[in-house]
A and B are shown apart, each in its own frame.
Chain A
């Protein structure tokens, strides 16, 4: 087993390289990560046979990815925070055009006030566009998820956004098992689209569509989201065969007999794991449910795992102001028809990089009797 240490963002770059994209388009300046820096070095050094398109804004980066994908090749881009916000309009167009673009977003806050640190507000603002969304906990998971993302996107014909938390994952040096190109090729076949821009076979894309057509095209997108569960399962099985690592839509930790369950997505899952261990040492039956796939949202799986629990504390790193944390909305939705629902707490854990220590989580569990389900909960 070939192990090495790399930053989360470098692990993403390696995952992209192993996926053999043909076009990488990116805006290289803040808020960007090492992902693009590494990929440009790989292209420059001849390690990766791809066109690297350096553009003048994130809006252009995502537009170039759209064009490349429409021309029939595997396309990748990466961004973060304000950069993702600037892409918003074209993110709609890529999903509506059913193009399997893969985008990696380093989750960081959006101003005002100015803040460069991590939270998930940027990608949660893009949840309703028809992009699939996956949140990663470790550098290994980020690398592996990029490979899976291309496989899933190209079968479902919807784009995927893969999230790594800014700094606490993107800039953290940690160990990674390095897959071989041979393994990657065994897992991910070359991309062969059925319809693409081709001068020898002219077709028109993105034409005007009146309500009757438009409505059913949107229905098709929802059908594809529903059908994607099977594709994602298949991707996980194939990935396990090729690499010997198991993945699922969600991951439980100490969940079976847990009375208090934390629900979280992203790299802070690791800190919660340690807190769960500490709580177990104290005799408190705590557990953890990590959400990997946020779109499609695996509501049925989550319902089965949580329906008999007493307390479910949803740890959000984004807020839908005037409503609830986006993760809480989904968990509540999943449990709506259950007759004996758990107490579900809408807890805003961290925004703009506010530090989260193991003790914070241990104390939260100890205090569960005083928590209210009727209102959004904020830390002191």
Chain B
């Protein structure tokens, strides 16, 4: 089973990203599951969302505490939220950040990768400079570096969960994939 945890803030689209990713795995022929933790449903509050992937129906419904992959929607979040908590040995943390991965010093034995997804989002007019919407393009980076879910399925899954700017999101998704 592959377990993935998203960290974001309310309004950054982590929950939608988790649904697109789970649906893309489903389109790739896997069984999958996505669900959020709901706390205060307001803009700016830290949120987590989970994806599980397996070759059989997924019964377990508890939050993901030992993820294989962690996706962090903005670098600043990693300064205040314990994003590496419980990550499996040699698991991967993907952070949307302009900084070098060396900046992040997690106690756990894991790989860290930073990628400036915000730059790509802004290039395609997704969100604002203060709050770029990177939830679709970051999945392109994830697909390329993990080789675990196909770009084609992510492209097919996106329109199901994104209601505006579908074309721009898919262009940004492809560019993020190609640059990663």
Contact = CB atoms under 8 A, between A and B. Distances in A.
A and B part of one assembly: yes
Interface of A: 5, 116-117, 167-169, 171-175, 267-268, 270-271, 273-274, 355-358
Given A5-B32, A355-B63, A174 B38 contact: no
Given A271-B60, A273-B59, A173 B22 contact: yes
Interface string B28-44: 00011111101000000
Among A116, A175, A358, residue most surrounded by chain B Cβ atoms (within 10 Å) = A175
Contacts of B18: 173
Nearest to B34: A173
B124 interface: no
Contact of B61 (A5, A116, A172): A172
B38 A357 contact: no
- Interface residues of A, dominant DSSP: loop
B62 interface: yes
Contact of A167 (B22, B31, B35, B58): B35
Contacts of A173: 18-19, 22-23, 32-35
A228 B58 CA distance: 33
Among B19, B59, B60, B61, residue most surrounded by chain A Cβ atoms (within 10 Å) = B61
A268 B62 CA distance: 8
B145 to A, nearest CB: 24
B177 interface: no
9 contacts: A5-B26, A117-B38, A173-B19, A173-B22, A174-B33, A175-B57, A267-B61, A271-B60, A357-B62
B65 interface: yes
A357 B3 CA distance: 15
Interface residues of B, number: 20
A271 B65 contact: no
Interface of B: 18-19, 22-23, 26, 31-36, 38, 57-63, 65
A268 B26 contact: no
Contact of A175 (B19, B31, B61, B63): B31
Nearest to B51: A173
Given A5-B32, A117-B38, A358-B62, 10 more contacts: A5-B22, A116-B38, A171-B38, A173-B22, A173-B32, A173-B35, A174-B58, A270-B61, A271-B59, A358-B60
A168 B35 contact: yes
A362 B35 CA distance: 24
A273 B60 CA distance: 8
A265 to B, nearest CB: 14
